[in-house]
Amino acid sequence: MTPISFPAGEDRDDTHVVDGWELTSYVAVVHRLSQRFPHLRTVDIEAVVIREHEAFTGGRPIAVPVDVEAGAEEILSAEPGATD
């Protein structure tokens, strides 16, 4: 895993509900846990967060970046039999 940098506002606790799931920023979660457990490496904290995410979601994405849909549409449009 590549270490992440913490942008401004990493201490914010903004949450949003998507499909019944209360969501918050991955970067903010890792930052808060890094502050609470400074003796642990960030990469190890990220690994725990990812494992917990997979346990809660079964590995299925709850939310995706907006541009993912456009990328998927482009790929699917190239499939044989695709129509506009």
Instruction: Kindly state whether residue 34 falls inside one of the protein's structural domains.
Output: yes
Instruction: Kindly state whether residue 61 falls inside one of the protein's structural domains.
Output: yes
Instruction: Kindly state whether residue 66 falls inside one of the protein's structural domains.
Output: yes
68: which 2 tokens? 């993912």
Q: Which pLDDT does position 37 carry in this prediction?
A: 98
Q: Are 11 and 32 in contact (CB under 8 A)?
A: yes
**Residues 49, 55: Cα–Cα separation, whole Å:** 10
Q: Which of 51, 29, 58, 52 is nearest to 42 (CA)?
A: 29
The parent domain of residue 56 ranges over 16-77
Q: Domain total for the chain?
A: 1
Tens digits of per-residue pLDDT, 26-77? 999 999 999 999 999 999 999 999 999 999 999 898 888 999 999 999 999 9
In this structure, the strands spanning 16-18 and 21-23 are antiparallel
52: which 2 tokens? 């917990």
Q: Which pLDDT does position 33 carry in this prediction?
A: 98
Q: Which pLDDT does position 12 carry in this prediction?
A: 60
Handedness of CA 36, 62, 56, 42 (dihedral sign): negative
pLDDT bin (cut points 50, 70, 90) of residue 82 is confident
